[in-house]
Amino acid sequence: MQRRQLLRHFIAGAACACPACGTFFKSAAATASEAAHPHWAYEGHGGPAEWSKLAPEYAACGMGKEQSPIDLAKGIPAMMSDPAVSWQAGALEVVNNGHTIQVNCPKGSTLSLDGHSYELLQYHFHHPSEHTIAGISFEMEVHFVHRHAEGGLAVLGVMIKAGEPNPAMETIWRTMPALGGETAKSETALHPGAMLPKDSTTYRYAGSLTTPPCSEVVSWVVYRQPITASPEQIARFAKLFPNNARPMQHLNRRKLLLDVL
């Protein structure tokens, strides 16, 4: 498949897109036809080592050369404009899709990146972090998944370390369903920007979804500074998802850039 065909396949629901996070965005049609798609998991049968063998459209998981996540180390200093978010607060729609806790976002929140505009679709969480920074893993990672109108995804990644309680996460945790396939709503308004770090320094690289079909359609922006969550908040998520992080992938011939503005 070509990149745009893979993206359409992803949006139609073959897999969430964490994209990989977009990894975790599903349409209603995808939910209705889930039985038709190969089962994948993070451990055991159907785990990451088997993803590329589960279906032809998942081949990139094993053969791709621009896969995610990666270790963010020795970034090339570059002068780049900061990602400009224009997000809005909205009532919560929280989904337990069996792979993560995902917050679906109403229309109207956008990201401007390298002269392109992307719409925020959803954000979701991983335990432990999928990316590492100079070999250091964090307790969790949140991915903000955006889509360009003409195809392509941009994902903002933020590391989460143990520390002070996180009020925004607490709001989500109070709403999140415990069972896979369930959705819960709350009129409590939450602004996604509450989970961005103060330091805007970021790593940039071209990558993929971190779940099947592992499509290489993602512009990754990962913040160097982590945010915090309390050990208790982390434990509540880990109880539902002990491990929902894809193993590290090779950088290969890609350039890893470090914003120095």
CB atoms within 10 A of CB 60: 22
Angle at 171 between CA 182 and CA 113, to 5 degrees: 90
Strand pairing category for 116-126 and 90-96? unpaired
Q: Which is nearest to 18 in space by CA: 165, 132, 129?
A: 129
Calpha distance 106→177 (Å, rounded): 19
Q: Write the DSSP assignment of 11-51 as a string of letters.
A: IIIIS-BTTTTBBT---HHHHHTGGGSPP--SSSTT-GGGH
- In degrees and rounded to multiples of 5, residue 142 shows phi and psi of -115, 140
Maximal CA-CA distance, the chain = 47
Separate counts of helices (H) and strands (E) for the chain: 6, 15
**Collapsing DSSP states into helix, strand and coil, what is residue 242?**
coil
Residues designated catalytic: 99
Give the integer Cα–Cα distance in Å for 18 and 106: 18
